[in-house]
Amino acid sequence: MDFTYSVITAHYDNVSLLKEMLKTIPERSDIQLIVVDDSSYEDPGMLKRELGEDVLKRIELYYNPSPVHGAGRCRNEGLEHAKGKWVLFVDSDDALSDNAFEVLDRYRDAEEDIIYFIPWSLVMPGLEEGSRHKTYEKVIREYLADPSKEDLVRYKLYAPWSKLIRREMLEKNKVRFDTCCWSEDVMFSVKAAYNAGRIAACEEKIYCITEREGSLTSHVSPHKYQVSVWVYAREYMYLKKRLDEETFKKVAEWPGGKIIRAVMGGYGFPMVKYILKLYRKYGIKVDIRDIGAEYIKSSLDFLRRTI
């Protein structure tokens, strides 16, 4: 069967939130709903019983084939089964707006490879406005006002959600998620953006991010920070080898920023030593003389948002 949209969701151990998210997606024959469970239960039958027949009729349920957990592994498994013209990633604890697919339908015949949408965020359980969407909104609105800022949209919006992505482009360029437990979406988004032809952005909001205490994005451990630096080093070199110097300096975070954040985060000398060793491995140099004013400004802006 041909689908217009393949909606892919990675799920782990929260069926009630998954059910609520699925309610925000309309029942339409052109929407393929793929849920990939990250080994929530030893007995898969238990998950099916909790989901119930009504939900199971709507979705294609798959399982992470690896004994190692991770949203990246689940999303990759979902991509293996996707058949839609467009791919839309939705986290299992987030939601789509009531008119999301009315907006998306306007782009079903678009020539662009990626359409970016402004998200919004809510803090649970009180539903106060969150902060996770603000960087994304700022970058997209600046691009809508000034198309010359397209590179910031391509290379600064790392999350896979709130984007409509052409599946053919992903398959042609073999774009997949990293299989680490954190920052698994960075290289996926960067590679997709680099290989995309035309892109577009829409100011209408279709995607709601939820913020909860104890979620993966609510705290940073030393190990998580190590992984994020490893991903950063690969992203840095990927873009450095492919972008012209002016564009690269505009979109790349200054390598010294990771060291500053490690110190300010209280991770100590072992973390700084790890970063320097990693930089030597990838050939990344921290040289203040090579940094232009815009490069420093964009890097410090990033640090202020993440410290």
Q: What is the mean pLDDT of the chain?
A: 91
pLDDT on residue 305: 53
| Res 307 pLDDT > 70 | no
Residue 62 backbone phi and psi in degrees, to 5: -130, 175
| Res 48 pLDDT > 50 | yes
pLDDT on residue 297: 61
The arithmetic mean of pLDDT across residues 294-299, rounded, is 57
Distance (Å, whole) CA 64 – CA 153 = 31
Question: From the CB of residue 141, how many other CB atoms can be counted at a distance below 10 Å?
Answer: 14
pLDDT on residue 42: 79
pLDDT on residue 301: 63
pLDDT on residue 289: 57
Does residue 139 contact residue 156 with C-beta atoms inside 8 Å?
yes
| Res 80 pLDDT > 80 | yes
| Res 124 pLDDT > 90 | no
Closest among 229, 224, 294 to 256, alpha carbons compared: 229
Q: Which CATH superfamily is domain 3-211 in?
A: Spore Coat Polysaccharide Biosynthesis Protein SpsA; Chain A (3.90.550.10)
pLDDT on residue 229: 96
Distance (Å, whole) CA 240 – CA 234 = 10
Segments making up each domain of the chain, as ranges: 3-211, 222-306
Distance (Å, whole) CA 293 – CA 183 = 27
Distance (Å, whole) CA 240 – CA 242 = 6
4-40: pLDDT as tens digits: 999 999 999 899 999 999 999 999 999 999 999 998 8
The arithmetic mean of pLDDT across residues 114-127, rounded, is 91
Check residues 246 and 263 and name the one with the higher pLDDT. Answer: 246
The arithmetic mean of pLDDT across residues 189-206, rounded, is 97
pLDDT on residue 212: 74
Residue-by-residue DSSP string for 140-199: HHHHHH-GGGHHHHHHH---SBSEEEEHHHHHHTT-----SSSSTTHHHHHHHHHH-SSE
pLDDT on residue 109: 97
Residue with tokens 């400004």: 297
The arithmetic mean of pLDDT across residues 66-87, rounded, is 95
| Res 251 pLDDT > 50 | yes
| Res 215 pLDDT > 80 | no
Whether omega before 125 lies within 30 degrees of 0, making that bond cis, reads: yes
Is the four-CA dihedral 191, 72, 169, 210 of positive or negative sign?
negative
Q: How far is CA 147 from CA 159, 203, 245, 252, in A?
A: 21, 14, 19, 19
Check residues 126 and 74 and name the one with the higher pLDDT. Answer: 74
| Res 292 pLDDT > 70 | no
Predicted TM-score (pTM) of the model is: 0.90
Residue 148 backbone phi and psi in degrees, to 5: -70, -10
145-169: pLDDT as tens digits: 999 999 999 999 999 999 999 999 9
Element (H, E) at 118: none
Residue with tokens 């002016």: 246
Element (H, E) at 94: none
The arithmetic mean of pLDDT across residues 181-196, rounded, is 96
Check residues 307 and 49 and name the one with the higher pLDDT. Answer: 49
The arithmetic mean of pLDDT across residues 86-102, rounded, is 97
Does residue 114 contact residue 157 with C-beta atoms inside 8 Å?
no
Does residue 252 contact residue 239 with C-beta atoms inside 8 Å?
yes
